[in-house]
């Protein structure tokens, strides 16, 4: 059994970290490090510390990276060289995260998994269909921007145009895209872009993590549901 990520407090709380008592700050840091250790040690995913966004009223979010006109506040790595590698222990994760207090958790795509992204409503509908069909599934996450991320075998993002062409969906206007090599997703329970935490719709499991499904097995259903959602 792994740590229970769902029970860990969202990293949105880190935006208020300076207002916590010292003991409260230690508890938040411990929760974050536990999440990092679960991803690295249990699921075999590398974790990269990410910038976090700070919102002030209705103003555009400012990014903790310090860039005055950051194009992606709270959604990019602080420094990719600070990556905590797959297999790291809780002690190693704690040591690494002590240098980046308040950072969000980012997972690099294109290594052990790629991601197919579509609208949340379409993703929820597709997941129900795929589960009824008994197809192999990996984790599925939801973002506060209303997007669903389906974890699939690496290489899917590069193959996506060809796969859609073979399935006859290449000329359809689909709200669907692949995330692969060189990109990052925000990992639950981190805040994304100052809008709230990323959540699991279907959490990690040993089979879904060690052998994420080939995109071709899911893509027909994902494309169909995404197409239907654009027609409504």
Q: Which residue has the higher pLDDT, 79 or 204?
A: 204
Average pLDDT over residues 138-165: 97
What mean pLDDT do residues 181-194 have?
A: 95
Q: Average pLDDT, whole number, for the chain?
A: 85
Average pLDDT over residues 177-191: 96
pLDDT at position 15 is 32
What's the alpha-carbon Rg for the chain, to the nearest Å? 18
Q: Are the beta carbons of 87 and 36 closer than 8 angstroms?
A: no
What helix, strand, coil percent values describe the chain, rounded to 5?
A: 40, 20, 40
| Whole-number Å distance between alpha carbons of 113 and 86 | 13
pLDDT of 20 > 50? The answer is no
Q: What is the pTM of this model?
A: 0.86
pLDDT value at 42 more than 50: yes
Residue 28 has pLDDT above 70, yes or no: no
Q: Is 45 left (phi over 0), alpha (psi -120 to 50) or beta?
A: beta
C-alpha 187 chain-centroid distance: 4
C-alpha closest to that of 184 among 134, 127, 117: 117
Q: Which of 214, 121, 111 is nearest to 163 (CA)?
A: 214
* 3-class secondary-structure state, position 47: strand
Instruction: Find, among 188, 101, 100, 181, the residue nearest to 144 by Cα.
Output: 188
């Amino acid at each position: 059994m792994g740590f229970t990520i769902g029970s860990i407090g969202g990293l949105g709380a880190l935006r208020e970290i300076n207002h916590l008592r010292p003991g409260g700050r230690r508890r938040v840091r411990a929760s974050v490090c536990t999440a990092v250790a679960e991803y690295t040690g249990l699921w075999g995913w590398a974790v990269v510390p990410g910038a976090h966004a700070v919102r002030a009223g209705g103003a555009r979010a400012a990014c903790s990276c310090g860039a005055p006109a950051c194009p992606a506040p709270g959604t990019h790595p602080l420094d990719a060289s600070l990556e905590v590698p797959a297999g790291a222990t809780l002690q190693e994760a704690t040591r690494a995260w002590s240098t980046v207090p308040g950072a969000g958790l980012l997972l690099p795509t294109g290594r052990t998994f790629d991601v197919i992204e579509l609208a949340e409503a379409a993703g929820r509908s597709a997941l129900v269909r795929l589960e009824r069909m008994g197809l192999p599934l990996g984790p599925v996450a939801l973002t506060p921007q209303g997007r669903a991320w389906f974890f699939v075998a690496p290489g899917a993002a590069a193959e996506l145009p060809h796969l859609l062409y073979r399935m006859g969906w290449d000329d359809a206007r689909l709200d669907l895209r692949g995330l692969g090599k060189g990109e990052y997703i925000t990992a639950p329970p981190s805040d994304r872009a100052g809008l709230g935490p990323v959540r699991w719709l279907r959490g990690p499991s040993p089979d879904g993590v060690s052998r994420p499904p080939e995109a071709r097995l899911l893509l027909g259903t994902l494309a169909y549901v995404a197409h239907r959602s654009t027609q409504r």
